[in-house]
Structure 1
Amino acid sequence: MSSIINPGNTAKKPSGSSNAGEPKKSVIDADGLYKKVFWRFVPFIMLCYVIAYLDRVNIGFAKLQMSSDLGFSETVFGLGAGIFFLGYFLFELPSNLIMHKVGAKLWIARIMITWGLLSACFVFVQTPTQFYVLRFLLGLAEAGFYPGIILYLTYWFPSHRRAKVVATFMAAIPLSGIFGNPLSGWIMQSFHGSSGWHGWQWMFLIEAIPAILIGVAVFFVMDNSIRKAKWLSEDEKDFLEAEIVADQKGKVSPKSTAGVFKDVRIWHMCLIYFCIVMGQYGLTFWLPTLVKASGVEGALNIGLISAIPFLCAVVAMILIGRRSDRMRERRWHLMIPALLGAVGFVISALAADNTVIAITFLSLAAMGVLTCSPLFWSLPTAFLSGTGAAAGIAVINSVGNLAGFVSPFLVGWLKDTTHSNQTGMFMLAGMLVVGTISIYLTSPKMVNK
């Protein structure tokens, strides 16, 4: 337990003087204070991301009925799933700069309410064009949520405490699979045919409602800055702000948006994140299809089995994130999970017709790729600050998330072309190996903080 005396409230007592009338020393329990900050809003933003990720990838579950009901090919579905990220890419940087200016409370609420309304509109999709347009608009609406939250966390937590916090926040991804996949399967199976609607239409409608409700709740839970947090004392605010100022010392960050695009380190981070996201969305979009291909039947059963890899990933993400913070080491904590993810993809593809082996190694792939995502952000935030952080995080996330377009489209195209899931899984494994090499080439002095 670390305790720090707030220097602003200490004074050297003159010899022989009494204690009467002297200001009391303010002792700050640093670990206790950061726990207080953590429990104030991290579980809430984690809930927000569960809902965000569910609305983003439930299209993978809808595919089980939607493709046959509407006559969509694997390529059409893959393109529609991926086109989300083109809209996401275009509005990511402007969105993060706007949030940095107007504050997280207003902007995150706007994002959630807008994407909830658009997600509900998928009920009315009948043609590939409608499918593409709505997926593109959903990407525009949601752009800025994830990088905005990553930026928001840099306002509250110094670098050496951030990996565990980001890992906990991003545990929302596997949690959305643990609860969302069985929920999606149950909705599609139970509501199919009700009021003349298909199961996938009910799924889109029901799963859109929480985004709107939680978007309203953002106004009451999130604070734009430490100074505006009414639940902190003045001493606590001073301490937290001093920690953030001290953390930013020595960072050589781009001073402008234009400077971000000229910084070689930013593009190196983009390459690493692109490779990680290739694996991440290859898994989350196609997992229900892979589980079905292994011999599992029924939407609810597929949903329950699909939750297993995500359950394993939650444990791995939190444990490895904590260890990375404790050791203050980032590179090897990223490289090893990336390689394990590659192994998981390869073996699950080779044993695709054996349910037990396929799920075991899909679980390994999930543990690997989903653990990489939160740990990755310890790299760029170790050298970015201020406006450079707002722009840099947005650029890295937007370029990296183009893999969200490439990955599902390429996997779908490869499946249509080769009539097998194996080629796509091998491609994802290869991208994770490229990412591992890129991480190894990153300077340890730059990121191990």
Structure 2
Amino acid sequence: MASTANPMPRPGASAPSAFEEATYRKVVWRLSPLLLICYVVAYLDRVNVGFAKLQMAADLNLSDAVYGFGAGIFFFGYFIFEVPSNVILHRVGARVWIARIMITWGVISALTMFISTPTMFYVMRFLLGVAEAGFFPGIILYLTYWFPAQRRGRMTSLFMTAIALSGLIGGPISGWIMDSFHMKNGWHGWQWLLLLEGIPSIIVGIVVFLKLDDRISEAKWLTQDERDLLARNIAADNVEKEDLSIGKILSSGKVWLMSLIYFSFVMGLYGVSFWLPTIIKSMGVKDALHIGLLSAIPYGAAVVGMLWAARSADRSGERRWHIAIPAVIGAIGLVMSVMLASNTTLAMLGLTLATMGILTTLPLFWSLPTAFLAGTGAAAGIAMINSLGNLAGFLSPYLVGWLKQLCWQGFWCSARCWC
């Protein structure tokens, strides 16, 4: 079994030829723009509820605990259907299944604009999680069909910069929509936000169905020599991997360890993602557009950190320290954002470090499980790690909301924090 610590080629392996480098550049330019756009609109749909809360909570009389539970219940639906969804993708192909996922979640996200009670909020968030289940692990699995381990780190990081890019462009856009469209056609700004940010998912889903190739053998835009080269590299990459049964995946200690590590990273990710607009507002920034512009700062820094760390990790072949150090930086940033909340500049610095550190860990993390899983085992294992890890997406926003409510009720928190 291949080691997860260093998925780079063995010492003495021959350097890639000019033909090989040119072929992979061709593949990157063909696949990365569409996959990046997919994840940008996906992540916008997942976290735009953070901006919608700025108006929705008052309009629907939602407490922070209710909002936190609703934001997090998304991940229960996600958890239940994640593994079967990814196994289906492996069997029917990414083109059909990713398109299905994107179109259904775009429709559900847009329909959320019509909620009027906490129960309706819970139901729509749960259904959104069901619809999206399998998307992210499906893309991670899809990349293993095209890129060997030594090339997958940068490609995964490029794909996952979509999280940062969605925050970078989504924050200002969300703020602008909520300011500019408020009460047009009798709809509140948060309703327009959910509608207008749900439509792109449907459009991109149709493009995926028309343009995405499931496998190397189906890529007519490659020459036969190029397809042969890519197929040989993938075959060589899979030699030491295990195609475990789903039963063995569920009982694998290594897979459970990966799930625990990922749970910890996701805990920080959604603590920032769902509450960043609220945290900035609590610093004294009231205008939705200004909140959106400020929220872009941490994500802009994260793009730089993600790409630099991925390039460094692929060049050196080292993974563990490239994951551990950003994780520690992210934790320090989270603590700073709370303890220094009375100083807007220092609090924003803390949020920037937190966002940059947390987001940098995520794409590099996925080089670990994909280094020892293959076939149906990879489909199930990646989905299991992602689904268990994303349960933190429920716990994190709910815990923050619950703690904030306790703070406001005077039960704790003598510190000057963003409570």
Per the alignment, residue 274 of structure 1 pairs with: 263
Report the Cα distance in structure 1 between the residues aligned to 2:347 and 2:407, rounded to whole angstroms.
20
Aligned 1:190-205 pairs, distance under 5 A: 190-205=180-195
Contact 1:2 1:30 in 2 (8 A): no
Report the Cα distance in structure 1 between the residues aligned to 2:225 and 2:208, rounded to whole angstroms.
26
Using the TM superposition, give the Cα deviation of residue 221 of structure 1 relative to its aligned residue in structure 2, in angstroms.
2.0
Contact 2:51 2:175 in 1 (8 A): yes
Q: Does 1:299 align with 2:294?
A: no
Per the alignment, residue 48 of structure 2 pairs with: 58
Q: Which amino acid aligns with 2:285?
A: V
Which of residues 67, 78, 82 in structure 1 aligns to 2:72? Answer: 82
Which of residues 215, 218, 232 in structure 2 aligns to 1:225? Answer: 215
Report the Cα distance in structure 2 between the residues aligned to 1:225 and 1:328, rounded to whole angstroms.
27
Q: Secondary structure at the match of 2:334?
A: helix
Report the Cα distance in structure 2 between the residues aligned to 1:121 and 1:32, rounded to whole angstroms.
44
Per the alignment, residue 235 of structure 2 pairs with: 245
Per the alignment, residue 345 of structure 1 pairs with: 334
Report the Cα distance in structure 2 between the residues aligned to 1:154 and 1:48, rounded to whole angstroms.
18
Q: 1:302 to 1:71 in 2, by over 3 A?
A: same
Per the alignment, residue 130 of structure 1 pairs with: 120
The count of corresponding residues between Structure 1 and Structure 2 is 399
Moved more, 411-420 or 376-385: 411-420
Using the TM superposition, give the Cα deviation of residue 82 of structure 1 relative to its aligned residue in structure 2, in angstroms.
0.1
Which of residues 402, 407, 415 in structure 2 aligns to 1:418? Answer: 407
Per the alignment, residue 380 of structure 1 pairs with: 369
Aligned 1:23-422 pairs, distance under 5 A: 29-251=19-241, 253-419=242-408
Contact 2:244 2:373 in 1 (8 A): no
1:119-157 residue CA offsets vs partner (Å, 9 max, x unmatched): 011111000000000000000000001000000000000
Contact 2:178 2:190 in 1 (8 A): yes
**Identical pairs, percent:** 58
Q: Secondary structure at the match of 1:192?
A: coil
Contact 1:83 1:136 in 2 (8 A): yes
Please list every run of 5 or more consecutive structure 2 residues that lacks an aligned counterpart in the other structure. Answer: 1-13
Using the TM superposition, give the Cα deviation of residue 255 of structure 1 relative to its aligned residue in structure 2, in angstroms.
2.1
Report the Cα distance in structure 2 between the residues aligned to 1:178 and 1:208, rounded to whole angstroms.
18
Report the Cα distance in structure 1 between the residues aligned to 2:47 and 2:314, rounded to whole angstroms.
30
Per the alignment, residue 428 of structure 1 pairs with: none
Using the TM superposition, give the Cα deviation of residue 397 of structure 1 relative to its aligned residue in structure 2, in angstroms.
0.4
Using the TM superposition, give the Cα deviation of residue 38 of structure 1 relative to its aligned residue in structure 2, in angstroms.
0.4
Q: Secondary structure at the match of 2:218?
A: coil
1:160-191 residue CA offsets vs partner (Å, 9 max, x unmatched): 11111000100000100011111010000111
Report the Cα distance in structure 2 between the residues aligned to 1:3 and 1:337, rounded to whole angstroms.
30
Using the TM superposition, give the Cα deviation of residue 254 of structure 1 relative to its aligned residue in structure 2, in angstroms.
4.7
Report the Cα distance in structure 2 between the residues aligned to 1:221 and 1:313, rounded to whole angstroms.
29
Where has structure 1 moved over 6 Å in runs of 4 or more? none
1:411-443 residue CA offsets vs partner (Å, 9 max, x unmatched): 1111111239x97x9xxxxxxxxxxxxxxxxxx
Q: Secondary structure at the match of 1:357?
A: helix
1:266-296 residue CA offsets vs partner (Å, 9 max, x unmatched): 0000000000000000010000011111121
1:74-103 residue CA offsets vs partner (Å, 9 max, x unmatched): 000000000000000011001000000000
Q: Secondary structure at the match of 1:140?
A: helix
Contact 2:269 2:359 in 1 (8 A): yes
What TM-score does the superposition give when structure 2 sets the normalisation length?
0.93
Report the Cα distance in structure 2 between the residues aligned to 1:100 and 1:249, rounded to whole angstroms.
19
Contact 1:41 1:221 in 2 (8 A): no
Q: Which amino acid aligns with 2:60?
A: L
Contact 1:291 1:302 in 2 (8 A): yes
Report the Cα distance in structure 1 between the residues aligned to 2:48 and 2:234, rounded to whole angstroms.
37
Contact 1:2 1:31 in 2 (8 A): no
Moved more, 354-363 or 145-154: 354-363
Higher relative contact order (CA 8 A, sep 6+): 2
Q: Secondary structure at the match of 2:284?
A: coil
Q: Which amino acid aligns with 2:204?
A: I
Quote the RMSD (CA, aligned, Å).
1.4
Please list every run of 5 or more consecutive structure 1 residues that lacks an aligned counterpart in the other structure. Answer: 5-27, 426-449
Using the TM superposition, give the Cα deviation of residue 31 of structure 1 relative to its aligned residue in structure 2, in angstroms.
1.3
Contact 1:156 1:240 in 2 (8 A): yes
Report the Cα distance in structure 1 between the residues aligned to 2:280 and 2:342, rounded to whole angstroms.
10
Q: Secondary structure at the match of 1:231?
A: coil
Report the Cα distance in structure 2 between the residues aligned to 1:287 and 1:411, rounded to whole angstroms.
11
